[in-house]
Each structure stands twice: as structure tokens, then as C-alpha cells.
């Protein structure tokens, strides 16, 4: 949503998990995604991205290592085609080459995302609390199964 508190959008990668090709996290000519973050901010002084971003990456298949160890985004990222991408104010959807599909909607102060996974593979959501756009590794996260929430976040690098 233009001028909203959330900017749920994709974080593209050129093979370096601590940086993207463009400020704000998305570069059109980069067709590899490492997650979808809630707080992409664009403009002068914003590179390498908004403070507090935590990209969420849908993955199908077993997770056998830490995403932080994937320094070149070879394992825990996915290719995509712009033909499988749709964007309108307040709405964004994308089907990834890894078989997952995403759909995001935002209002002025809230957002929701849905993820669809292939039935034959294990479904996973990776919360990249370390090595997101501005390279912070000072982060924590927990999973509250009873409330079905994922509280936590990352701190601004000093």
C-alpha cells in the first residue's frame, strides 16, 4: 500500500547474502529471490535496505543446514520469472521456481501473506533474522505454537 507502514515485497539476490543489487531490496533485472520482507524502504540513504527487515523465505524440501551458512544464496533462494509475478497497489504475488507460490496484501497498517507449497514436498518458512539487507547478525526469534506467531526480530547494527 503506498505510504503504508508495511512494504511486503521480495528481496532479490545476486549471490551475496549480505547485500542486494539495489536499495530497498529489489532489483528488477535480478531474477533470484532470498525472501519476502515487511519493511523495505527506498530512497536516499536507505541502502543497503531498511532497518528491521526480516525476509521470510518459503522453501519446499528438507532443510539440512543453516541458511546463514549459504553465503552465496545458492541453496536457500529461488529463481523466478517476471511472467509469474503480479503487482498492484496493496497486492503482490509470485510463483517461485522452487514450486512455492506467494500472495501478499497490505493495508495502511497491516499485511498478510499466504504461501502455497507442492504437496509432495516438506513445507518450510525460513525467517532470515541474520544476514538480512543491512547485514546485522544481532537477532533472535522464537516460535509460539500455541498462538501461531513468530515473535522476535533483529537489532540495528552499530
Domain CATH number, residue 33: 2.70.98.10
Provide, rounded to the nearest whole percent, the portion of the chain with pLDDT above 90: 28
pTM for the whole thing? 0.81
Summarised one tens digit per residue, pLDDT across range 72-114 is 989 999 999 999 999 888 899 999 999 999 999 888 888 889 9
How far is the C-alpha of 93 from the C-alpha of 75, rounded, in Å? 22
- Three-class SS of residue 121? coil
Domains: count for the chain: 1
* Burial grade of 81 (CB within 10 A; 0-12, 13-18, 19 or more): exposed
DSSP state at residue 143 = -
Q: pLDDT tier at 25 (50, 70, 90 boundaries)?
A: confident
Query: Which of 98, 102, 99, 97 minimizes the C-alpha distance to 86?
Result: 102
How far is the C-alpha of 18 from the C-alpha of 13, rounded, in Å? 9
4 within a domain of the structure (yes/no):
no
Summarised one tens digit per residue, pLDDT across range 122-154 is 999 988 776 655 555 567 788 898 998 888 766
Range of the domain at 57: 9-154
85 within a domain of the structure (yes/no):
yes
Amino acid at each position: 500500500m503506498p505510504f503504508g507502514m508495511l512494504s511486503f515485497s521480495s528481496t532479490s539476490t545476486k549471490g551475496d547474502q549480505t547485500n542486494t543489487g539495489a536499495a530497498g531490496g529489489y532489483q528488477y533485472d535480478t531474477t533470484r529471490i532470498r525472501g519476502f520482507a515487511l519493511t523495505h524502504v527506498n530512497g536516499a540513504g536507505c541502502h543497503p535496505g531498511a532497518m528491521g527487515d526480516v525476509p521470510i523465505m518459503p522453501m519446499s524440501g528438507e532443510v539440512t543446514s543453516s541458511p546463514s551458512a549459504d553465503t552465496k544464496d545458492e541453496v536457500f533462494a529461488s529463481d523466478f520469472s517476471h511472467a509469474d509475478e503480479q503487482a498492484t497497489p496493496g497486492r503482490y504475488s509470485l510463483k517461485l521456481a522452487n514450486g512455492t507460490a506467494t500472495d501478499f496484501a497490505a493495508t495502511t497498517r497491516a499485511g498478510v501473506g499466504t504461501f502455497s507449497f507442492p504437496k509432495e514436498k516438506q513445507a518450510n518458512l525460513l525467517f532470515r533474522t541474520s544476514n538480512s539487507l543491512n547485514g546485522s547478525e544481532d537477532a533472535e526469534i522464537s516460535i509460539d505454537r500455541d498462538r501461531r506467531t513468530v515473535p522476535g526480530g533483529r537489532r540495528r547494527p552499530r
